[in-house]
Structure 1
Amino acid sequence: MGRFLNRLVLAAVLISAVAVGASPGRAQSAGPLVFAAASLKNALDAANTAYVASGGAKATVTYAASSALAKQIEAGAPADIFISADEDWMDYLAGKGLVQPATRRDLLGNRLVLVAAADSKAAIEIKSGVALDQALDTAQKGGRLAVGDPAAVPAGKYAKAALQKLGAWDKVQDRLAPAENVRAALALVARGEAPLGIVYATDAVAEPGVRIVATFPADSHAPILYPIALVKDSTSPQAQAFLEFLASAKARPLFEAQGFTVLSAK
């Protein structure tokens, strides 16, 4: 029964990944299978294309929440590379001996921002005591704040930490619109289903339907880091080469173009 349930959950994650632009499965590629945080989609797609142009084998990338992907690797999903949107979920797998420690490195950094619809007139200063509950009502009576699920999704965890540090959490915790990943939270704002949302700066850049209202102070939350590592049971001979490419100077401008800070580039 446990194995059957694991397969059902894996199927659900892969379906969710398709919704944010993934192409699960390995039939069309001899390259590695990469499990990557949803916020990496635009940049990683560009890097994958560049890698193929340089003579490498195309990677198959599944995008979803880091939490969901880590759980699937734990359940036996055949990933070769894992890229998390926070240290916690990489640590989770490392603690279970499911990644290759020598290959782990911090690949990228990001920033946390407050977004509204592109045509919104919202003007909010993010500081201690910020009244986001009032801003929500001003924008849309009874409106909700779109975030990645704070219980598991890295972007939601960063958002909760920042709101707690700024003294705003108690007033908005019952007014959240929690989403399965940060791109889903972004979509809620772009579609007008939530007047405000907290996402990564790179997500805001990728979505013309929103605008950045304010950036959260860097000291209001832990540093936003994207660690990368080979999965312990990786079987792809291309996996190490693709990981090295992502951490190389050749990939740097592709990540920077999407607003990421590159932390590992030779």
Structure 2
Amino acid sequence: MKKQLFALCTSVALLLSACSGTPSQSDKPAPAVQTDKAEIMVSAAASLTDALNELKTTFETDHPGIVVTYNFGSSGKLAQQIGQGAPSDVFLSASAKDMNVLEEKQLIAKDTRQDFTKNELVLITGANSSVKIDSFEKLTDPALQHIAVGEPEAVPAGRYAKEVMDALKITDSLQGRLVYGSDVRQVLTFVESGNADVGIVYASDAAISKNVKVLATAKSEWHKPIVYPGAVVAASTHADAAKAFLSYLTSDKGKAILQKYGFQ
């Protein structure tokens, strides 16, 4: 009887040992996959919003190790933020002036700076507006109560608009009727919503909106050349990824996307 009991206990012990033994190779959890990516912050002029959002998709597809995040705003404010130490890897400005400020302070990698596109300045009104003027000279028409422009001190489009008004000697006559936007996209919104009779924006801004129509295009001699310089920020922690983004922006793919959205 004792022998039978011992045999039974031994069998049970062996069975339990088999059930709780070391798991097979297939039972082991898969090793963790490395997902580290370089995340770059691109501080870009508001007028680039739509083009860069499309470019982000194609760039990240072609560069799976890089993730792009944008900070859109007026070039002047973005330059100020970078000057105050805000994290950024790439600066894309709508004017040379704001880039020059950072270069003078050695806040960009000078050898990476390059002009990547151009633009034009246009006078717009709402798509269903009854405004009929066909030139910038006619902005003095007293029927125009609200004329939207960018804030000249911080918004390049506003700075160019002021240069046009000064060249035409109509600046003083428009005082009291000018409505200032914090960036060029706000100017576009003022006109789209009917809160301004007309507005002065870039040709690229007018091109992406179905709610406005172009009344006139400013002559190039009325304002400084509208060029967009880009550069890697000196304090970038992902300089190689930032350089790759700038290179892509000036590649055939990048140029095609910019032209699609009205840039030259």
Q: Is the 8 A contact 2:88 2:233 kept in 1?
A: yes
1:167 equivalent in structure 2: 169
Is 1:217 the equivalent of 2:225? no
Q: CA RMSD in A?
A: 1.5
Q: Structure 2 CA distance, aligned partners of 1:55 and 1:66?
A: 27
Q: Counterpart of 1:259 in 2: which secondary structure?
A: coil
Q: Counterpart of 1:138 in 2: which secondary structure?
A: coil
Q: Structure 1 CA distance, aligned partners of 2:199 and 2:224?
A: 19
Q: Is the 8 A contact 1:146 1:198 kept in 2?
A: yes
Question: Deviation per CA, 1:135-177, whole angstroms, max 9, x where unpaired?
Answer: xx435xxx21101101221000000001111122121133110
- Whichever residue aligns with residue 70 of structure 2, its letter is V
Unaligned runs of 5+ in 2: 1-35
Q: Which of 138, 142, 148 is equivalent to 2:143?
A: 138
Q: Structure 1 CA distance, aligned partners of 2:139 and 2:124?
A: 12
TM-score normalised by length of structure 1: 0.82
Q: Which of 51, 60, 75 is equivalent to 1:43?
A: 51
Q: Is the 8 A contact 1:109 1:260 kept in 2?
A: yes
1:200 equivalent in structure 2: 202
Shift of 1:52: 1.4
Q: Structure 2 CA distance, aligned partners of 1:30 and 1:208?
A: 37
- Whichever residue aligns with residue 74 of structure 1, its letter is G
Shift of 1:126: 2.2
2:158 equivalent in structure 1: 156
- Whichever residue aligns with residue 166 of structure 1, its letter is L
Q: Is the 8 A contact 1:31 1:239 kept in 2?
A: no
- Whichever residue aligns with residue 192 of structure 1, its letter is G
Is 1:232 the equivalent of 2:234? yes
Q: Is the 8 A contact 2:131 2:197 kept in 1?
A: no
- Whichever residue aligns with residue 41 of structure 2, its letter is L
1:90 equivalent in structure 2: 99
1:248 equivalent in structure 2: 251
Shift of 1:46: 1.0
How many residues of Structure 1 are paired with residues of Structure 2 in the alignment?
227
CA 1:167 to 1:58, structure 2 compared with 1: closer, same or farther past 3 Å? same
Question: Deviation per CA, 1:118-145, whole angstroms, max 9, x where unpaired?
Answer: 1013232326xx13131xx435xxx211
Q: Structure 2 CA distance, aligned partners of 1:189 and 1:230?
A: 34
1:19 equivalent in structure 2: none
Shift of 1:205: 1.0
TM-score normalised by length of structure 2: 0.83
Q: Counterpart of 1:199 in 2: which secondary structure?
A: strand
Q: Structure 1 CA distance, aligned partners of 2:63 and 2:90?
A: 19
Q: Is the 8 A contact 1:131 1:168 kept in 2?
A: no
Shift of 1:29: 6.9
Shift of 1:208: 1.5
Q: Is the 8 A contact 2:148 2:198 kept in 1?
A: yes
Is 1:53 the equivalent of 2:56? no
1:69 equivalent in structure 2: 78
Question: Deviation per CA, 1:84-121, whole angstroms, max 9, x where unpaired?
Answer: 10000000011111001000001110000000001013
Q: Structure 2 CA distance, aligned partners of 1:30 and 1:173?
A: 48
Structure ID, larger Rg: 2
CA 1:115 to 1:29, structure 2 compared with 1: closer, same or farther past 3 Å? farther
